[in-house]
Structure 1
Amino acid sequence: MSENFAELFEESIKSAELNPGTLITGQVVDITNDSVIVNAGLKSEGNIPRWQFVSATGELEVAIGDDVEVVLDMVEDGLGATLLSRDKAKKAAAWRFLEKAAEEKETVIGVITGKVRGGFTVEVGGLSGFLPGSLVDVRPLRDTSFLEGKDLEFKVIKLDEKRNNVVVSRRAVLETEYSAEREALLDNLKEGAVLKGMVKNLTDYGAFIDLGGVDGLLHITDMAWKRVKHPSEVIEIGQDIEVVVLRYDEEKKRVSLGMKQLGEDPWVNILDRYPVHSKLSGKVTNLTDYGCFIEIEDGIEGLVHVSEMDWTNKNVNPAKVVSLGDEVEVMVLEIDDTRRRISLGMKQCKGNPWQDFSAIHKKGDKIKGLIKSITDFGIFIGLDGDIDGLVHLSDISWDEKGEEELQSYKKGMELETVILAIDSDRERISLGIKQIEQDPFQEFLASNDKNSLVKGVVKEVDAKGAVIQLNDNIEGYLRASELSRDRVDDARNILNEGDEIEAKFIGIDRKNKTINLSIKAKDDDEEKAVLSDYSQQNASTPTLGDIFKNSMEDK
C-alpha cells in the first residue's frame, strides 16, 4: 500500500463513520474480466462489477493503482466480504456537482437522449434529468431532432435527491445569451444587411431563422427563385445559412428574411435568352393533372400544358408521357415576364401530323382507314400520323338517314373514304363515304329536265298524297291536289300502292331530295296540246265562205 493511499485512507477514516452509504476513497489493486478489486483499507477488499467502471463509449475508466471514490454498501456480509459501489459514488458526486451548479446558477453540459410525455430525457452529470418541452427553446420548436445527441448547455432549475428528480432548462441559457446579443443585433439591424443564422423551425409557409437573439421569418417564396413546394426541399433544421434582411418592423420586432435575393434574379433579360419559338432542353420537376413543369435553368420553370404535350391525344395523362427528372425538349410558346410565367410546348418539337397530312393529301383524294370509334354524330377513321378524320352522319349515305346507316358499321372495319376538307390549323379532316359514288339525285336531275314526264310506281299513299318510286334511289311526291283538275279529298280514292303512274316533273325539294310531281299538270299540258293541234288543223282547211269569195274574185 502506498504512503499516499495510506494517508488518504487514514484521513477518510477519521473524517467519516464507516456506515453503509459512506463515500470513501480506495485504490484499484486488480482488474479481472468481471470485477475491479478495490482496497479501501477495510477488513477485506471489495469486488466491484467491472461495468461500473466502463464509460458510455465502452472503455474502462480505471487502471491498477488508480484512486477511486466508492460508496460503502456493507461493511461485512455473511461471508466476510466488503461490498462497495462505484456507481453510487458517481451518482453522489453528480448530485454534489448539480447542487453546486444550481446554487451558483452555472450552466451544465447535457445530452438529450429521448422523448417522454411533456418533454425530453437529458443525461446531465451522469444522472437522468427531465427537460420540459416548453423549456427547450425561447419559442416552440416543431422539430427538435437537430438537438438530440449533441452536447448542449442547460441550467438546473429543480433538484430533489430523495425523489431522484432533476429538472433542467435550455431556454434559460438561451435567454441569458440572447439578451445581450439581441440588443446588439437590433441596434444594427437594417434592410439589406446580410446575416448568418441557424434554421430553428420549418413550417409549410417558411422557416424561422435564429440570428442570435432574434428570430427572423424566411418565407417559402423568398428561399429560391424557383418554385418550392416545402422548405425542406431547400434547407433543414439545424443548418447554418446566410440570409439578407428584407424588412424590419422595429415596433413589432419582426424580421423578414430572404435567401434568393443573395443571387441574381434569373428573370432579368429572360426574353433575350429565350425567344419565343426557340427550342431548348429542360428537366421535369413536377407533374399535375393539367400538365408538367420544366426547369430550363436554375430558378426558372415553365409549364407544358396537357394540350401542348401531344398533337393527337388532348386528354393525355402527363404521368404517362414523362416522369420526374426526365430531360425533355420543349419550345418556348409565350413568356409573361411581369407575371413570371412561361408557356412551353413539347408537341411543337415534333412534326405536326396535320400539316404533314395536308402536304401529302388534297381535297377529293380517296383514302382508306380503320374505324376507331362511332359516335352519335359520325364515324372517326384512323389516318396516317395517328390522327383521325370524321365522316359526319350526313356524309355516310345518299339514300338512308345517317342514324340508320350507322347500324351497318363496326369498330375496326376498314373503309374507303373521300377527303372533303383539310383544316390543319383547327386539326380537322372531313371525310365522306357516300361521295365515293355519284349522287343519284344529281344523276336523276341530269337525265330528267324539269317539266318533263316521268314514270313511277306508287310506294305509299295517304289522304294527302302519294310517294312515287321513280327509280331505285329517287322518290317523288304527288299531292292529292295534283292528281286531277277535279277536287280530290283523299288520294286513296284514286291511287293504290303498286299503281304505275306517269306525271309531270314540276319541282325539286332539295332538302329532302324528292321530286315534286303532278298528274293534273300533265293532263293540262296534254289538253293544251290537243287544242293546239286542232287549231292548226282548222287553220289549213278553207271554209264555204272563203270558197265563195275566192270564186267571185275570179269572175
Structure 2
Amino acid sequence: MVNNNNKNLTNEKEVKADSSISTAHNSTIQSKEKEEDIGFKELYEQSLNQLQYGDIARGKVVQITADIVMVDVGWKTEGFIPIRELKDTQGNVNISIGDDIEVFIDKRDSEGNLVLSREKAAKLKVWDDIKNVSDNNITIKGTVVEKVKGGLSVDIGIIAFLPGSQIDIRPIKDLDHFIGQTLDFHILKYDRKRNNVVLSRRSIVAFERESEKKDTLNNIIEGSIIEGVIKNITDYGIFIDLGGIDGLLHVTDISWGRIAKPSEIFHKGEKIAVKILSFDREKERVSLGLKQLHENPWEHISEKYPVGALVQGKVVNLTDYGVFIELETGVEGLVHISEMYWTREIKHPSKVLNVGDTVNVVVLEVNPEAKRVSLSLKQTTANPWEKLKEKYPVGTVVKGLVRNITNFGVFIGIEDGIDGLVHVSDISWKHRVTHPSEYFKKGQELEAVVLNIDVDNEKFSLGIKQIEKNPWEELPQKYAPGSVVTGKITNFTDFGIFVEIEDGIEGLVHISEISQKRVKSSAELYNAGDTVSAVVKSIDVKTKKIRLSIKEMEAPAPIPTPTSNQYINNRENIGSNLAQALADVKIGGQPKG
C-alpha cells in the first residue's frame, strides 16, 4: 500500500537542513539572531521525522473549498484532499472546519503540494479490521449493496462477497429483500493482494436460531397462544416459525369451515397467532391450530338453524351438483341442483348464480356430526306442483305441444316449465307401440287425460288412450267363451299364432290348440294373412289376453276300439292301482311306531 514516491520525509528535511547549514558556513557575517532561527527550524523539521509516505495520520480541517479540503497534519504546510472523497451519496460534505479526521499521507503533486487521501486511510483501516475480525473470529457489520451472480455484494468498508449458500441455514430463493439491510457477518477468508473478502452469515443465523429454539422450547405449553411468522405454505397446511422451531398448522385446523387452498388466504412472512395443540418434545414437533381460537359454530348449529328456517347466505362455491352457501364464518350449506328451481332446468349453477351473490334459502336438514347443512333455494317460493294438482284433477283433459319423444313415452308441455309424460303403455288400447316417434312429432298438439300428479316426486302422468273407452272392457260380453270368431293371422311364434279379431285386438292360438293332429310348427299349416276361424276359450281384460282354439273347430277324432290285450293290460293296471290305494289307506290308519 506504500506509494513508489514513498520516501522518508526525513530525507527531504535533511536536504533542506544541509542547504541551510551550507548557507550559514558560506556567510562571512552571521548575526546571533539568525543562528537562533536556524536552530529552531532544524528542531521543528526534526519533529516531523516520524511521518512517512504511506502512513495514516490524524489532522485538523482548516479550509473547505469547492474542490479540496485542506488538512493540517502537523507539517510546515497543510495537505489537501479532493472534495469528491468527502461527499456522501447525495453529494453533501459532512465535515466542518476544525474537525479531526484520519488521512493517508499519499504523495506530493507536481507543484510540491502534499496530497492526502481519506479513502485510502479508510481502506487501510478496513483491512486492519478485517484481519482482526478473521483472527479473533468475531463479527463485522456490513450493508448489502446488490445481488450478484452466486450471492450478494456487501459493503464492509470495501466490497465483499456473500455466497448464496452462506446467507442462511436454509436455501433462500428471494435475495432481493436483503438489499439495503445492515447485518453482522463472519469472515470466511480474505486476500489483501487480490482485494478479495468472502463473508458468511450462516453460522450467525445458526447460533441465533439455536438460542431462539432453546427459549421457545422452554416456553411452549400445550393450549397456550403464541405468535409466529408464516414460513412456508403447502396444500396440506402452513409451516410457522415460532422462534427457532417450526410448527405445522394443518389445513383441517385453519377454519371450522372449508379451506380449498391456504395460499389463497395466507402469505409468507405474515405474522399469525395460533394455539399450541400438541408438542412432542423428543421429536420437536409442534401441532398448531387457528380455528381453536374461536368457538366451534357447529356445537349449537341445530338451534341456530332449525329445519324450515328461512336464512340468508353468500355464494362461496359453484359445482356441477350444486351451490355452497356460507351462512356464517366456518359454516357452509349445500343447495343441491335439484333444490334450485321447481321447474326451471339448468345445466350448471353458474348459469344463474355467481360467487359473492347473497341469497335467501330454506334449511332442509342439519347434521352437526358430519358438519353438513342441506339448503333449498326453490322452497323460498310457492310449489307450482301443488297449484298444478289443484288446477288439473285426475280425469281432466288437457292440451299441449309435444316437447320431447323418448323410447318410453312422450312429454307434453302443459305449464311453463312443467311437462306431462304419456307413457308408451298409455298411448293406445289396441296397438302395440314399439316407439312413440312412429306416431308423433315434436311440436305436434295433443290431447291427453290427467292420470296422476305426484307432488313429492314432481311427476305429471298423462294418457292418450284414456280419452276413448277401453274396448277390452266390452270384449267379454261381445265374445263369450265358446263363441266363434274369424280373423287374419298377423304373427307366428314358436308357441303359436296371433289372430287379429278386431282392429288392434289379437288373440293367441297356442300351438297345442292349432290342430287335433300333432303339429311341430304352425307354419306347416298356415301363412301370414290367412283367414281362420277359432273358438274363444277365455278373455282376460286385465292382462289383455285372448285365448283361441282352432282344433275345437275340427270334428272330433274317432275313439279306437280296444283290443283284448289292451283290456287285459287295463285290468292289470286298475287292479294294481286299487291295491296300492288300499295299501296306502291301511298304512295311513296304523299308528306310527
Same fold (TM over 0.5): yes
Question: After superposition, where does 1:443-458 map in structure 2 within 5 Å?
Answer: 443-445=474-476, 447=478, 449-452=480-483
Aligned to 1:158: 188
Distance 1:426 1:223, change over 3 A: same
Aligned to 1:400: 431
Q: Report Cα offsets for 1:473-522 as digits up to 9, x if no partner.
A: 43456679879999999999999988887765443265884655567768
Rg larger in 1 or in 2? 2
Query: In 1, distance between residues paired with 2:244 and 2:497?
Result: 103
Q: Report Cα offsets for 1:348-370 as digits up to 9, x if no partner.
A: 33443433433332322223333
Distance 1:126 1:402, change over 3 A: farther
The worse-fitting range, judged by mean Cα deviation, of 340-349 and 85-94 is: 85-94
Please tell me the residue identity of whatever aligns with 1:17: Y
Aligned to 1:422: 453
Aligned to 1:532: none
Aligned to 1:379: 410
Distance 1:27 1:357, change over 3 A: farther
Aligned to 1:3: none
Q: 1:26–1:70: 8 Å Cα contact kept in structure 2?
A: no
Aligned to 2:323: 292
Question: After superposition, where does 1:69-218 map in structure 2 within 5 Å?
Answer: 101-102=133-134, 103=136, 105-111=138-144, 113-114=146-147, 116-117=149-150, 120-125=151-156, 129-138=160-169, 140=170, 144=174, 147-149=177-179, 151=181, 153-160=183-190, 161-163=192-194, 165-218=196-249
Which of 270, 275, 291 aligns to 1:244? It is: 275
Aligned to 2:578: none
Residue 269 of structure 1 aligns to a residue whose secondary structure is helix
Percent identical pairs in the alignment equals: 40
1:459 shift after superposition: 6.8
Please tell me the residue identity of whatever aligns with 1:155: F
Query: In 1, distance between residues paired with 2:493 and 2:229?
Result: 97
Query: In 2, distance between residues paired with 1:516 and 1:473?
Result: 16
Query: In 2, distance between residues paired with 1:300 and 1:243?
Result: 21
Alignment: residue pair count? 503
Query: In 1, distance between residues paired with 2:466 and 2:115?
Result: 114
The worse-fitting range, judged by mean Cα deviation, of 317-326 and 104-113 is: 104-113
Matched, 1:304 2:338: no
Q: 1:143–1:201: 8 Å Cα contact kept in structure 2?
A: no
Aligned to 1:17: 53
Q: TM-score normalized by structure 2?
A: 0.67
The worse-fitting range, judged by mean Cα deviation, of 218-227 and 461-470 is: 461-470
Q: Report Cα offsets for 1:72-125 as digits up to 9, x if no partner.
A: 999879x999999988887766666555555561252534844754xx425443
Q: 1:465–1:479: 8 Å Cα contact kept in structure 2?
A: yes
1:206 shift after superposition: 2.6
Query: In 2, distance between residues paired with 1:134 and 1:275?
Result: 60
Query: In 1, distance between residues paired with 2:364 and 2:483?
Result: 63
Which of 461, 466, 470 aligns to 1:439? It is: 470
Q: 2:406–2:436: 8 Å Cα contact kept in structure 1?
A: no
Q: 1:28–1:63: 8 Å Cα contact kept in structure 2?
A: no
Query: In 1, distance between residues paired with 2:511 and 2:211?
Result: 113
Q: Report Cα offsets for 1:427-479 as digits up to 9, x if no partner.
A: 32222222233334445556555555656567789999876554444345667
The worse-fitting range, judged by mean Cα deviation, of 236-245 and 461-470 is: 461-470
Distance 1:446 1:323, change over 3 A: farther
Aligned to 1:537: none
Aligned to 2:586: none
Q: Report Cα offsets for 1:7-39 as digits up to 9, x if no partner.
A: xxxx999745379xx9999999555xxxx6667
Question: After superposition, where does 1:340-355 map in structure 2 within 5 Å?
Answer: 340-355=371-386
1:385 shift after superposition: 4.7
Query: In 2, distance between residues paired with 1:243 and 1:227?
Result: 18
Aligned to 2:353: 322
Q: 1:480–1:488: 8 Å Cα contact kept in structure 2?
A: yes
Q: 1:391–1:430: 8 Å Cα contact kept in structure 2?
A: yes
Q: TM-score normalized by structure 1?
A: 0.71
Q: 2:407–2:435: 8 Å Cα contact kept in structure 1?
A: no
Q: 2:484–2:535: 8 Å Cα contact kept in structure 1?
A: yes
Distance 1:221 1:360, change over 3 A: same
Q: Report Cα offsets for 1:221-256 as digits up to 9, x if no partner.
A: 333333223333443222233222222222223222
Please tell me the residue identity of whatever aligns with 1:108: K
Which of 260, 263, 288 aligns to 1:229? It is: 260
Aligned to 1:553: none
Structure 2: gaps of 5 or more residues: 1-46, 556-593
Q: 2:137–2:186: 8 Å Cα contact kept in structure 1?
A: no
Question: After superposition, where does 1:23-62 map in structure 2 within 5 Å?
Answer: 53=87, 55=89, 59-62=90-93
1:297 shift after superposition: 0.9
Matched, 1:219 2:255: no
The worse-fitting range, judged by mean Cα deviation, of 350-359 and 124-133 is: 124-133
Q: Report Cα offsets for 1:102-152 as digits up to 9, x if no partner.
A: 5561252534844754xx4254436555444454444x3676579544625
Q: 2:424–2:435: 8 Å Cα contact kept in structure 1?
A: no
Distance 1:517 1:141, change over 3 A: same
Residue 299 of structure 2 aligns to a residue whose secondary structure is coil
The worse-fitting range, judged by mean Cα deviation, of 430-439 and 441-450 is: 441-450
1:273 shift after superposition: 1.0
1:191 shift after superposition: 1.4
Query: In 2, distance between residues paired with 1:86 and 1:96?
Result: 16
Aligned to 1:336: 367
Which of 366, 374, 384 aligns to 2:397? It is: 366
Q: Report Cα offsets for 1:298-327 as digits up to 9, x if no partner.
A: 122233344444445788424334322222
- Superposition RMSD on alpha carbons, in Å? 5.0
1:272 shift after superposition: 1.3
Query: In 1, distance between residues paired with 2:155 and 2:164?
Result: 17
Q: 2:409–2:421: 8 Å Cα contact kept in structure 1?
A: yes
1:394 shift after superposition: 1.6
